[in-house]
Amino acid sequence: MNKKRIISLVLLLSIAILPMTNVLAQEYEVGEKIEFGKYTGVVIAEKDVPEGIKPLKILDMKEIEYLLAKTEIELASTEESIFVDSDISTRATGSQTKRMSLISGLYVKAYYTYAVNPTRFGSCTNVVSYISGRPFADWTQTSYNGIVIDSGRTLAVNFSGFQDLYLLTPLGLVKINTTHADLYTEFYYTGI
């Protein structure tokens, strides 16, 4: 009699839990789009994660929306830290790297030419932006524009792009793009 009760209890629990496991283990196909509030993600295969990226594991769907909103706010905030690199021995070229935000890990590096006498920016030759310190995120720069202003003392840089977040969710491995960000910063000539 006791054995029948245990078997009945196990069957009853199995039947009660079965619908919940189906909801949590919904099958999503690679390439299928998933909505996270105002953001859209796409289910990807593990082989599609870029080298060096480690997806962030998130179990709560509300946490995903919070992370995405927070990431966009972080991209918009800027803190300036400048690192100067120069190659004065071969040509009058140089570069400066600026950390746009400690929180977002977004950096921008401007390459330029400069006039030695007087020391002024000559032109902007390239702008590269990237994310560092966020192993679950990747940055894709889509455009840049650099112009010399203030009689050559300032290099004004506009650049834009979007951030890809790689998340391991209850729905599977998901890649989510943030909205496109247009950013602006200035570099000031610092004599070598």
For 83, the domain range is: 1-192
SS3 109: strand
The rounded distance, in Å, linking the Cα atoms of 49 and 165 is: 10
- Phi, psi (5° rounding) for residue 71? -60, -40
Residue-level length of the chain: 192
Total domain count for the chain? Answer: 1
Give pLDDT, residue 59.
Answer: 84
The reported pTM is: 0.69
Q: What is the pLDDT of residues 14-32, one digit of tens each?
A: 454 444 333 334 567 889 8
Higher pLDDT, 191 or 49: 49
Given a cut of 70, is residue 116 above it in pLDDT?
A: yes
Q: What is the pLDDT of residues 62-112, one digit of tens each?
A: 888 888 888 878 777 666 655 665 554 445 888 999 998 767 889 999 999
